[in-house]
Homo-oligomer: A and B are copies of this chain.
Amino acid sequence: MNSHPEINGERLLARLDMFAKIGATPGGGVNRQALTPGDREARALLTRLAKARSFSVFQDDAANLFIRMEGRDGSQPPLLIGSHLDSQPSGGRFDGALGTLTAFEVLESLADAGVEPERPVEVVAWTNEEGCRFAPGCMGSRAFVEGKIPAEWADLRASDDGARFEDERLSTIDALAADSSHRRLGFPVAAYLELHIEQGPSLESEEIPIGIVTGVQGTRWLEVAFEGQTAHAGTTALQYRRDPLKALTMGLSALYAGVMPENADARFTVGRIAVAPGSVNAIPATASCTIDLRHPETAVLDRLEDDIRSGLTEAAARENVSVAIRKTVDMEPVTFSSDMVAALQAAAQKAGLPTKTMISGAFHDALFVAGCAPSAMIFVPCRDGLSHNEAEYVKPEDSVTGARMFLASVLELLPRA
C-alpha cells in the first residue's frame, strides 16, 4: 500500500510522555543534562523505537545519534530532520524532545503509509545543545559541521560533577555501540529542518499555531571575574575595603538598568554568580558571574559588549579591584536559506495553516547546520513563552499541528532538496 502519510497524534503525545519520564523532576520538568545517565537513557529509548521499525541507527564521534529511513536513491545525501534530547538542569519536557520526537513521528508516518521517499530521510538527536553542563552549547552540530571534535574540548569538565567531557562522550557512544553503526563525523546533507517550541510569548499571544523562522539572533557568553581582598566584615572600614562583590553588584546594576530597556531586541541575563571564600562575616576575595547577551544584529552586539566591558571595568576601578572578562561563546546572527523559507510557506499554504515569520531568540543546532546545508526551523507556541523551566508547556493540539506542518514541509522539501 502507498496511502497519503498522516501524523499519528496520539502516538506522538504518548512518546512525549514516555520521554518526559526520563530525568523527570518533582516540579513536572526534566533534568536530563548532556551525556548524563538520563541523556543516555533517552538515546537508548529512541534507538529501541527505531529498531522496532527496522530503521538503521548510527552514531558519530560527537555522539550525535542518527536514525535513517532509506530512499529511492540511497546515494543521494539525506534530508536531515531533528533536534536534541538533552535538557537544562531544571528544564521543560518539550525543549528538544518535541523536535526530535516530531521528526521521528514523521519517519514513522512515512513508513506507515509505505512511502518510499526520493532520498533518504534521517532523524538526528544532536549532542549537548543546551551547553549548561559543558559549554559551549550545540556541541554535536558544531562538530558535525567542522567534521571533527575541536581540540579545546578535550580538557572540558562538567559544571556539575566535574566529569571530563572526553570520558562522558566516549561512555555515551559505548552505551549504544552494540545497537548502532559508527558513522564518520560530518557528511553531505541535502537540507536540515528542525521543529522547536518558540520559547517566547509571541505565537501564543497572537494565536498563530506555526512560526516560520527566518534566522537566529546572535549570542555571546562572557565570564566575568573580579578579584579584590578578603578581610574581616566587622572591623574593616569602608576606606580599607577592596570588595569584589560590591564592584560586581554596582557594575551589574547599571547594566540591568541600561542594556535591555534601551535595546528592545537585546537580551541581557546573568545566570550564574559566585563568591569566594563565601563566609558570612568575611568580605569576599573574588566575585564572578556569567553574562548571556543576545541581539539580531552583530553591530549592536559589538556595541553592547563594549558597554558591558567598559561598565564592569569602571566599576572595578572604583572599588580598587581587578576584573577579567573572557568571551566563551560568540555566535553570529544567522539568516536561513530563502528557498527553505519559501518551501515552508508553500507547505503551510497546502496544509492550510496560518503562520508567522520570525527571528529565533534562542540559538539552536539549525544555526550551525546552516553552515553546511540549507536549513530552516518551525516554531510552535508554548505557554507564557516559558522555557528552561519545569513549567514549560505546549498544548497537545499545538504539538500535533506542529507535526502536521513538519510532515507537510518534509513532503515539500523531498523533491526540491
Contacts and interface: CB of A to CB of B under 8 A. Distances in A.
Copies in the complex: 2
Task: Indicate the size class of the contact surface on chain A.
Answer: 35 or more
Contacts of A253: 249-250, 252-253
Chain B CB within 10 Å, residue with most, of A231, A243, A285 = A231
A232 B280 contact: no
A227 to B, nearest CB: 13
Contacts of A272: 275, 278-280
A206 to B, nearest CB: 14
A252 B159 CA distance: 27
Interface stretch (A44-52, A105-113, A385-393): A385-393
Nearest to A252: B249
Interface stretch (A14-22, A254-262, A402-410): A254-262
A231 B393 CA distance: 12
Contacts of A362: 232, 234-235
A267 B236 contact: yes
Contacts of A119: none
Interface stretch (A78-86, A140-148, A193-201, A302-310): A193-201
Given A249-B249, A253-B250, A261-B238, A279 B231 contact: no
A235 B361 contact: yes
Contact of A294 (B198, B234, B386, B387): B234
A90 interface: yes
Contact of A234 (B217, B273, B278): B217
Interface of A: 88-90, 130-132, 135, 137, 159, 198-201, 217, 219, 221, 229-238, 240, 243, 245-246, 249-250, 252-253, 256-257, 260-261, 264, 267, 269-285, 287, 290, 292, 294, 360-363, 384-389, 391
